Structures are given as structure tokens and as C-alpha cells.
Amino acid sequence: MPEKIPKTNVMRVLDQHGVSYTARDYSKIGAVSGVDVARALGLDPDAVFKTLVTVAGSGEHYVFMVPVERELSLKKAAKAVGEKSIEMIKQKELLPLTGYVHGGCSPIGMKKPFPTVIDETAQFYDAITFSAGKIGFQVELSPDDLRRVIDFAYADICEENC
């Protein structure tokens, strides 16, 4: 019998909303990058997303999700949210702002909801996978089910040369 995966805050939020998901545990694999995680779990890296937190010139914070093999285009991201400029927040600011550590950040269950944009490629998958809010754990669910939990928009936000 497989080992039971401990519930993360993200999983509890999904349960509260009655959202069906698949929990994935890579805690014993030692994968470091998102691409390593995708490969270790036997998943298509294009359907595994990383969660990035940014701050705009206006001081507003935004969350962006891009496939683990791709990079966020700060220019496209700024345009997607109607800002002049956007930059990644400093790693030391992540935990106090979101409640998550680097490598375990999820768009679900942050201390405060932030406007969220997901790369437009996500809508072409039946399910996407992203952090369950704790390093070593991921959740997989449909983008439609994710919309039941957080509000988000789709946009072309990835760098072209990746």
C-alpha cells in the first residue's frame, strides 16, 4: 500500500472547496528544479507550473504561473496586468508576504489573494500540476477546478527563446 501523503494547506483548501485533485509526493526523490520534479513524477514539464511572485512599479504584487521549463517575460507580465514594470520579489520577502518558502510557493492559500495570471498554454491541458504549498509535494487538477478556488486570467507571459 502506498504511503499516505500528508495534507498541506493547499490540499485542505481544495478539500474545503470540494475540488478533486491528485496529490504527488516527490519529497524522497531529491529533485531540485521543476524540470527534475516533472521528470521524477513522469509528467510532461509543459503541464507542470511554477508559481512566481512579483512586485510592480506601482507597489502592487502579482502572481504568475509558467511551465517549469519556461521563463517569465517581465515585459509581457507587466503588460498582462496593465503595469509599466514588474520585477521578481526578493526571496526573503516571499515568506512574510505569501506564507510560502521559495520552492514551495502555490497560488492557493497565500496569506492574501493577489491578482494571478497563468500562461495561456495551461488552458490546453486537462490537468496542470503545481506546488502543494510545501517543498516535496505537488497537486494536479484541471484549470477549471483551479478557477473554483482562485481567480486568474490567462495570458502569453513566457519568454520566446525558451
Q: Are 158 and 70 in contact (CB under 8 A)?
A: yes
72 and 162 Cβ atoms separated by less than 8 Å: no
94's enclosing H/E stretch is: helix 91-98
Instruction: Dump pLDDT digits (tens) for 77-125.
Output: 999 999 999 999 999 999 999 999 998 999 999 999 999 999 999 999 9
Count of beta carbons in the 10 Å neighbourhood of residue 60: 14
**Looking at the domain 22-155, which fold is it?**
YbaK protein (3.90.960)
Which residues, 6 or more positions from 80, have their beta carbon under 8 angstroms from its beta carbon? 117, 153, 155, 156, 157
Region 153-162 average pLDDT: 88
* Predicted TM-score of the model (pTM): 0.93
